[in-house]
Amino acid sequence: MDASPNPSAASWSRSRIAALNAQFEPHGPKAILNWAVHTFDDDLAQGTGFGPSGIVIMHMLADLRPGTTVFYLDTDLLFPETYELCEDLDARLDVDVTRVHGGLSLDEQAEQEGEALWNRNPNRCCFLRKVKPLKNFLADRRAWITGVRRDQSERRADADILSWEDQYGVFKINPLANWTQKEVWKYLFEHDLPYNPKHDQGYPSLGCVPCTEPVDEADGYSREGRWGDADKTECGLHTSLGEEESEAAGS
């Protein structure tokens, strides 16, 4: 696949991004990641919440470019099993696992915004604990790899493999966009990779403890169980998927 020696936002037209997407579509995620690491080098970082897709990508990156930055947004509200999985993956895989935190403790948030903001205004809470820290972290990067897949939800069904994210000023790469949940789990088992034990307890997707519930029977979408009955399916990180959440959260 073509590589750009010096990519910048200005030099990448929409038609060029569309052409690259057409080129990527028949290729597997490892070929796409190989293109990404050769194109963006040190300016590339993977973001993950240590879900199955993120672990597949971490494993591929450890092989393609050992030492690649893999960051997670620590909201202080992740499941204990998620923190344990983070430590396990950090020890097993040759990537640079990096904690990103907004600097606002839960006590400070309660003082400024009131108790249990996640119940009263989850968009504001996600903005403070996820979107803002992500924006700061990506400020000096050019490319962000995510585990977004089209089969995860209706809103993700049109996700591109490569896009320009204006809000963060980076290229976003979704190397597993056209993979299925089944393909992801097959890869995990074939490579004997660990996964969050909460998935075996009815949690298809794991975020923060107050906003994640088990589900009786997933309807085929792996993001079921997030934000319960609230009319919210994205935390606002993926602007092309959840613009209203990001805007509602303010700046």
Closer Cβ to ligand SF4, 109 or 181, answer by number: 109
Residues 212, 226 contacting (CB under 8 angstroms): yes
Closer Cβ to ligand SF4, 130 or 156, answer by number: 130
Q: Report, in Å, the least distance between residue 236 CB and ligand SF4.
A: 8
What is the strand order of the sheet 69-73 is part of?
Answer: 96-100, 69-73, 44-47, 143-145, 170-173, 162-165
Residues with a known catalytic role? 235
Site residues for ligand SF4 per CB under 6 A: 75, 77, 118, 122, 125-126, 129-130, 207-208, 210-211, 235
Closer Cβ to ligand SF4, 130 or 172, answer by number: 130
Which residues are 172's β-sheet partners? Answer: 144, 163
Closer Cβ to ligand SF4, 32 or 125, answer by number: 125
Q: Residues 6 or more apart from 246 whose CB is under 8 A from it?
A: 127, 131, 167, 236, 239
Q: Report, in Å, the least distance between residue 102 CB and ligand SF4.
A: 10
Q: Report, in Å, the least distance between residue 209 CB and ligand SF4.
A: 7
Q: Report, in Å, the least distance between residue 62 CB and ligand SF4.
A: 28
Q: Measured at CB, which residue is nearest to ligand SF4?
A: 208
Q: Report, in Å, the least distance between residue 128 CB and ligand SF4.
A: 7
Alpha carbons 200 and 198: distance in angstroms, whole number: 5
Among 67, 68, 66, which Cα is nearest to 173's?
A: 68
Alpha carbons 211 and 251: distance in angstroms, whole number: 22
Q: Residues 6 or more apart from 104 whose CB is under 8 A from it?
A: 112, 128, 129
Closer Cβ to ligand SF4, 89 or 206, answer by number: 206
